[in-house]
Structure 1
């Protein structure tokens, strides 16, 4: 009877017959003499820790052994399977080349995928231990053994794939510098957003603006007696003070907080305050603050507040961002791009299906640029190729956000190139900036060091258990909501999800909706093929009409398209949307403010054709705009051709009667004009 390692004695077997034999669980049995030698060494403490033996002649094996060593720390020893170690185990050289071996202090010997999972189960990292134990489950282990055998038989090819996907790095990727760079750039993005809004806030939301915040909140107070219910519906700091001065001071405060985040001053507090302050504007901003980059900035701000290091001057921060936090940022990258691509495919729009969208895009963009004018005249084949490239970048490349580092780097540069092309051909406010900032999470510290002069900081410290718990508690609902937002785009998920899951998700979404921090994304799912433009005119006699000129939108055919981003002229943008349908409520308010001569609203325009007193009546005329071709522009010098389509809003004038201060004046149709 020969004692085995990790198994029961096998009666009737001699030492010679059992040397090198394998029992259940891939347990390698040595001869009785070698077993006694090993057990003697174990008793003397030689194997106080598990020992992993691998093929030391294989660079691929050495690289992965180094990666596993980082995961397990000093709890597991890793040694090349030299001759004396193989002799000690009684393991043939062929076995060592075929699979790594694990020797445990108990005497148990395993190999291949089982050895790997058992070694990783000793890791001090909770996530690694959980994954390793899952790998040891029946069925999973057998599948892993099969994959391991295939890789071992094709080691040379696997080494090439490994270098291409993961590079030569053996230490798992760190993200403290990624977090540091992201937070600095996010501070710059918030600075752009608040500076841009500050230039327009009184004209948009002041007491004599287009959407007076004070008037709206006063209406809410009359309709809802419960202060808590009002706050839940409109979470805004302007419940305390919605005066024009408060709106302006809020933008100033946003600029100060943005600078604090930019210069790494109390980043967690700064990011949290920026999120709350920008939410205060978005909650009351209605259509002028309802763009996808506004809610994307809120989502990025909330995630930043959860992952930013504490302290007043934390530097890189003491601990690493958790794997869950990194995953949430990458999930947001995926949702942003994949949501846009999927919405294009599901919209049924012919231009995307026939790859002709880019033939119309540059001409019909809300605020095109001069580069966009030239791009509109590119050859048709290139336009179709561009459309196909956009669909590929938005439906295939986003999946690489969850891939190995080389694929993630490819995704970063590909998606950054897409954003650069969009920024060059259209004015989309700070969207292209923030999308590029978000993409930083596709990189790691090693990748950043290759392009930035970054120095190594102090070593990261283990995250305290309470900080881990708080972080998990904060990000878990966001993870669930983000995953649900992706799944909700597929009809099968809606039909087949369990009823209880649906009820819980509906409740969770209703609670999170007022915070506007987990949102669906889908830009340009329907491509407009025409460009109607609204021209607003005023008159004193109904015969001679003078045009109000806007700062950035198409107007004078001889004026070239302008580059205005990252500033976003929100009135000019909404004029593009208004032209696609019937006059919205804010447009009627705009005409009323022109008749009233509101200086705040007139400040949003390029000029006032009635400097002495407001006109007696105003109207809106609709034109169809088309970009001129190259020959026509050289001949005439104009950038646009336009054709009159008719009246958008007939002449209006102020209705007689009292005009309450701070309220929109009443209007009346001007007959016969």
Structure 2
């Protein structure tokens, strides 16, 4: 085979639209992630945060948690790093690096990856979510798709399909292994009501008839356990499989708040959809938006040096895949696990077990030294349920980290250090902490005492909603933290 023939074979010239969607889409999610860090990191993990990053850096090693902030951490430096990350990501969304040589998008994504890795690796429990590793892995790979100078490398398209395979098939297997309700098709009887952060549609989805929920669960199994295999089939089979994955992820977007998990899955799943399939669907390839030249043969065979670089990267990533492969077929499958400090080639999965009773921790304060029942006023969070009359809001792809940790807290981790410090910050009326909340009932003044109570929540039925006007029905279960003063 001649070099020119080899370069042509190695070029995925039928995936230029996929490249544009993936690069711009992942960059857009980086914007959300960096913006979240600017808004929330200082209060949660900053110099005076609930779990201060400087203290974490001092007691851990760079070998295990590499981060630029090991040289120096300050809240100002954190904000500056995130702001630069937003600017770089915005340039990709606008398509500017894609106009240059193939190495330019790689360089831009590499800087974003280093910056966000530096944040995640000092983020502790507030950054212990699977979609953080997913964004880092995607950010490290999609820059290798190159620019408009040459067609996308076939091996990188192939590895992105392997990423979607691990993400979807891993989630399907963890469900089948982890909870009987997934196997008997009853999981969706509970999921919409007990998911970490419901949205405005969640109640309507929960109130669908039980046969619909069983079909919903069966459809989930078909897509997660079957479609990932078809991504490695010839076209148009791979495109149809990718479309089904995208459709199921869109339903999750509509019915819940899972940060950017569903959005980044949708974006990466386009690696299975060819330009020819777009042309068959739309009649003219790329559907407008001012970039009509894309998908019309843009990009020729890649330069030899770029082929060598992307092939070496593929081989390195493939070598890191053996632990995730073993994990996928292990009876003790790990969910959302990173096998290296760089968060590359991770294991994924979600909802290996379904909570059947929703518990909520309600935090209250009082200005009275001898409070009665009516003297306690609740602090309201932005996303998590509290006020039974309030309809949940849509926040995804934005990630409300404190609200998510409150959901895990209600599952049983009452003595978490961060929560004790959170209550202390409320007693101090700490302004940065209060900005993370939707309602401070004391308008910046220090309460005399705070407490935390545990409630069982469920969606109001249609009849209960008409009769009471409530979105949630709730019953008190226990007092988690008795009335406490500032020490």
TM surpasses 0.5: yes
**Aligned pair in 2 of structure 1 residues 337, 542: CA closer, same or farther (>3 Å)?**
farther
Structure 1 residue 473 corresponds to structure 2 residue 302: no
How many Å separate the matches in 2 of 1:434 and 1:468?
26
Aligned residue for 2:369, secondary structure, equals coil
Aligned residue for 1:370, secondary structure, equals coil
Aligned residue for 1:396, secondary structure, equals helix
Structure 1 residue 631 corresponds to structure 2 residue 463: yes
Deviation at 1:128, TM superposition (A): 10
Q: Does the 8 A contact of 2:168 with 2:224 survive in 1?
A: yes
Out of 613, 623, 628, the residue aligned to residue 445 of structure 2 is: 613
Structure 1 residue 305 corresponds to structure 2 residue 136: no
Q: Does the 8 A contact of 2:359 with 2:454 survive in 1?
A: yes
Structure 1 residue 198 corresponds to structure 2 residue 25: no
Structure 1 residue 183 corresponds to structure 2 residue 18: no
How many Å separate the matches in 2 of 1:565 and 1:612?
28
How many Å separate the matches in 1 of 2:8 and 2:286?
31
Which residue matches 1:372?
A: 202
Out of 503, 510, 523, the residue aligned to residue 350 of structure 2 is: 523
Out of 135, 157, 161, the residue aligned to residue 326 of structure 1 is: 157
Aligned residue for 1:233, secondary structure, equals coil
Deviation at 1:298, TM superposition (A): 0.4
Aligned residue runs from structure 1 range 576-591, under 5 A: 576-583=407-414, 584-591=416-423
Aligned residue for 1:619, secondary structure, equals strand
Which residue matches 2:481?
A: 649
How many Å separate the matches in 2 of 1:417 and 1:364?
22
How many Å separate the matches in 2 of 1:408 and 1:180?
18
Q: Does the 8 A contact of 1:377 with 1:629 survive in 2?
A: yes
With 632-641 and 235-244 compared, the bigger mean Cα shift is at: 235-244
How many Å separate the matches in 2 of 1:129 and 1:413?
25
Q: Does the 8 A contact of 1:190 with 1:258 survive in 2?
A: yes
Deviation at 1:124, TM superposition (A): 5.4
With 198-207 and 566-575 compared, the bigger mean Cα shift is at: 198-207
Aligned residue for 2:181, secondary structure, equals helix
Which residue matches 1:569?
A: 400
**Aligned pair in 2 of structure 1 residues 172, 570: CA closer, same or farther (>3 Å)?**
closer
Could you report, residue by residue, the CA deviation over 1:600-647 in whole angstroms, capped at 9, with x for unpaired residues?
A: 111101122223532233221000001110111011110111000011
Deviation at 1:359, TM superposition (A): 0.6
Deviation at 1:253, TM superposition (A): 1.3
Which residue matches 1:546?
A: 377
How many Å separate the matches in 2 of 1:175 and 1:399?
19
Which residue matches 2:86?
A: 255
How many Å separate the matches in 1 of 2:205 and 2:435?
32
Higher relative contact order (CA 8 A, sep 6+): 2
Aligned residue runs from structure 1 range 252-401, under 5 A: 252-266=83-97, 267-309=105-147, 316-317=148-149, 319-347=150-178, 349-401=179-231
Could you report, residue by residue, the CA deviation over 1:51-93 in whole angstroms, capped at 9, with x for unpaired residues?
A: xxxxxxxxxxxxxxxxxxxxxxxxxxxxxxxxxxxxxxxxxxx
How many Å separate the matches in 2 of 1:434 and 1:205?
25
Gaps in structure 2 of 5+ consecutive residues: 98-104, 280-284
Aligned residue for 1:231, secondary structure, equals coil
**Aligned pair in 2 of structure 1 residues 491, 426: CA closer, same or farther (>3 Å)?**
closer
Aligned residue for 2:483, secondary structure, equals strand
Aligned residue for 1:427, secondary structure, equals coil
Out of 314, 322, 328, the residue aligned to residue 489 of structure 1 is: 328
How many Å separate the matches in 1 of 2:52 and 2:111?
24
Q: Does the 8 A contact of 1:537 with 1:545 survive in 2?
A: yes
Aligned residue for 1:335, secondary structure, equals helix
How many Å separate the matches in 2 of 1:492 and 1:563?
36
How many Å separate the matches in 2 of 1:187 and 1:526?
32
Structure 1 residue 410 corresponds to structure 2 residue 240: yes
Q: Does the 8 A contact of 1:306 with 1:475 survive in 2?
A: no
Aligned residue for 2:201, secondary structure, equals helix
Deviation at 1:451, TM superposition (A): 4.9
How many Å separate the matches in 1 of 2:51 and 2:12?
51
Aligned residue for 2:406, secondary structure, equals helix
**Aligned pair in 2 of structure 1 residues 477, 467: CA closer, same or farther (>3 Å)?**
same
**Aligned pair in 2 of structure 1 residues 633, 326: CA closer, same or farther (>3 Å)?**
same
Deviation at 1:432, TM superposition (A): 1.8
**Aligned pair in 2 of structure 1 residues 551, 459: CA closer, same or farther (>3 Å)?**
closer
How many Å separate the matches in 1 of 2:194 and 2:89?
34
Structure 1 residue 452 corresponds to structure 2 residue 283: no
Structure 1 residue 537 corresponds to structure 2 residue 364: yes
**Aligned pair in 2 of structure 1 residues 275, 542: CA closer, same or farther (>3 Å)?**
farther
Normalising by the residue count of structure 2, what TM-score does the alignment of the two structures yield?
A: 0.89
Which residue matches 2:340?
A: 513
**Aligned pair in 2 of structure 1 residues 127, 488: CA closer, same or farther (>3 Å)?**
farther
Aligned residue pairs: how many?
463
Deviation at 1:654, TM superposition (A): 2.9
Q: Does the 8 A contact of 2:429 with 2:444 survive in 1?
A: no
Aligned residue for 1:621, secondary structure, equals strand
Deviation at 1:199, TM superposition (A): 1.8
Deviation at 1:129, TM superposition (A): 10
Q: Does the 8 A contact of 1:428 with 1:565 survive in 2?
A: yes
How many Å separate the matches in 1 of 2:260 and 2:37?
11
How many Å separate the matches in 2 of 1:236 and 1:204?
18
Q: Does the 8 A contact of 2:8 with 2:301 survive in 1?
A: no
Q: Does the 8 A contact of 1:330 with 1:441 survive in 2?
A: yes
How many Å separate the matches in 2 of 1:612 and 1:280?
33
How many Å separate the matches in 2 of 1:232 and 1:208?
25
Q: Does the 8 A contact of 1:178 with 1:448 survive in 2?
A: no
How many Å separate the matches in 1 of 2:9 and 2:437?
62
**Aligned pair in 2 of structure 1 residues 518, 354: CA closer, same or farther (>3 Å)?**
same
Deviation at 1:280, TM superposition (A): 0.9
**Aligned pair in 2 of structure 1 residues 612, 479: CA closer, same or farther (>3 Å)?**
closer
Q: Does the 8 A contact of 2:321 with 2:345 survive in 1?
A: yes
How many Å separate the matches in 2 of 1:636 and 1:623?
19
Normalising by the residue count of structure 1, what TM-score does the alignment of the two structures yield?
A: 0.65
